[in-house]
């Protein structure tokens, strides 16, 4: 479904992504792990069309989308839930969701997507008229994910969704990611929380200084000594 090869990006001459190669097959959860500054966010922003790659190629569903922008990638079926959530704080839950569903011109389809989100996220349903900025961090994260899902993506990219959440909420979030995947959405998951990410993913990539240095089945990486000492604190 997604094939990324030899991706490169520099910010004003400073190399952030040097050589990233990865793929996501339909139905998978794929984790992207790496230390702070390894280039994870830059990589997923290129895939989602928020940054234009300076090197390499991105193919989605058999089409070359290397130079496609976000507004082109969303209708193709790629949605990014960015690092730091970025929900609109002054808007209500409902208004935030409507922004995620902007690609659906048909109001009935949009309303149906919103009802589906309220079924998956009951707490958002209770707070549909509430201003997003007044909700807890966990609720805002759920809203950010629901907003990305409003476009009914084939591939949902989550950039550090568990950042700053209490442990109980982190478990809830990972359960939710699993259930979204079980409904048929492929997931590319960027995480600092490597242990949890490896538990729910099929495969994982490790990014070091802008280069994908490892790829393996998640269950193999969990038991790997180098991965344990680098990411799992053991
Ligand atoms: N907007 C930006 N301008 C300049 N440098 C940036 C910008 N965003 C990220 N960088 C740099 O690019 C490198 C990779 O960052 P990033 O992709 O955010 O890594 P990660 O998500 O793995 O923490 C880092 O050295 C970071 O400081
Ligand atoms: Mg990041």
- Give the model's pLDDT for residue 229: 78
The rounded Å distance from CA 39 to ligand 1 centre is 6
Q: Which ligand has the minimum distance to the alpha carbon of residue 83?
A: 2
CATH of residue 25's domain is: 3.40.50.300
- DSSP labels for the chain? -EEEEEEEEEETTEEEEEEEEEEE-TT-EEEEEE-TTSSHHHHHHHHHTSS--SEEEEEETTEE-TT--HHHHHHHTEEEE-TT----TTSBHHHHHHHHTTT---HHHHHHHHHHHHHH-HHHHHTTTSBGGGS-HHHHHHHHHHHHHTT--SEEEEESTTTT--HHHHHHHHHHHHHHHHTT-EEEEE-S-HHHHHHH-SEEEEEETTEEEEEEEHHHHHT-HHHHHHHS--
The rounded Å distance from CA 120 to ligand 2 centre is 26
- Give the model's pLDDT for residue 233: 65
State if residue 37 touches ligand 1 by the CB under 6 angstroms criterion.
yes
Instruction: Report if residue 14 sits inside a domain.
Output: yes
Instruction: Report if residue 13 sits inside a domain.
Output: yes
State if residue 36 touches ligand 1 by the CB under 6 angstroms criterion.
yes
The rounded Å distance from CA 40 to ligand 2 centre is 5
Q: Which atom of ligand 1 is nearest to the CA of 207?
A: 22
- Give the model's pLDDT for residue 85: 73
Instruction: Report if residue 197 sits inside a domain.
Output: yes
- Give the model's pLDDT for residue 51: 97
Instruction: Report if residue 171 sits inside a domain.
Output: no
Report pTM. 0.94
Please state whether beta strands 14-24 and 2-11 pair in parallel, antiparallel, or not at all (unpaired).
antiparallel
Whose C-alpha lies nearest to ligand 1, atom 24?
A: 37
The rounded Å distance from CA 3 to ligand 2 centre is 21
Q: Tens place of pLDDT for every residue, the chain, 234 residues?
A: 999 999 999 999 899 999 999 999 999 999 999 999 999 999 999 999 999 999 999 999 999 999 999 999 999 999 999 998 789 999 999 999 998 887 777 888 889 999 999 998 999 999 999 999 999 988 999 999 999 999 999 999 999 999 888 888 888 889 999 999 999 999 999 998 898 999 999 999 999 999 999 999 999 998 888 787 777 765
Instruction: Report if residue 56 sits inside a domain.
Output: yes
State if residue 104 touches ligand 1 by the CB under 6 angstroms criterion.
no
Tell me the backbone φ, ψ of residue 6, rounded to 5 degrees: 60, 35
Instruction: Report if residue 90 sits inside a domain.
Output: no
- Give the model's pLDDT for residue 223: 86
Q: How many domains does the chain have?
A: 1
Instruction: Report if residue 89 sits inside a domain.
Output: no
Which range marks the domain in which residue 59 is found? 1-77+157-163+188-234
Instruction: Report if residue 6 sits inside a domain.
Output: yes
Q: What is the dihedral of CA 104, 106, 112, 115, to 10 degrees?
A: 70
């Amino acid at each position: 479904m997604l094939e990324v090869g030899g991706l490169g990006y520099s910010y004003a001459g400073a190399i952030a992504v040097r050589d990233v190669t990865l793929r996501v097959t339909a139905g998978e959860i794929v984790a992207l792990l790496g230390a702070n500054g390894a280039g994870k966010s830059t990589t997923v922003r290129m895939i989602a069309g928020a940054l234009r790659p300076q090197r390499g190629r991105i193919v989605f569903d058999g089409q070359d989308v290397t130079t496609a922008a976000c507004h082109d990638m969303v209708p193709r079926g790629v949605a990014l839930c960015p690092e730091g959530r970025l929900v609109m704080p002054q808007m209500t839950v409902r208004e935030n969701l409507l922004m995620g569903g902007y690609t659906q011109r048909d109001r009935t389809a949009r309303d149906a997507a919103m009802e589906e989100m309220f079924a998956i996220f009951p707490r958002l349903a209770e707070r549909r008229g509430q201003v997003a900025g007044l909700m807890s961090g966990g609720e805002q994260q759920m809203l950010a994910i629901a907003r990305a899902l409003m476009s009914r993506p084939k591939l949902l990219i989550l950039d550090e969704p568990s950042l700053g959440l209490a442990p109980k909420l982190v478990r809830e979030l990972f359960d939710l990611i699993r259930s979204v995947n079980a409904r048929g959405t492929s997931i590319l998951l960027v995480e600092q929380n490597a242990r949890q990410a490896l538990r729910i993913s099929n495969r994982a990539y490790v990014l070091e200084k802008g280069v994908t240095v490892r790829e393996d089945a998640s269950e193999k990486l969990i038991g790997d000594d180098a991965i344990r000492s680098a990411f799992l604190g053991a």
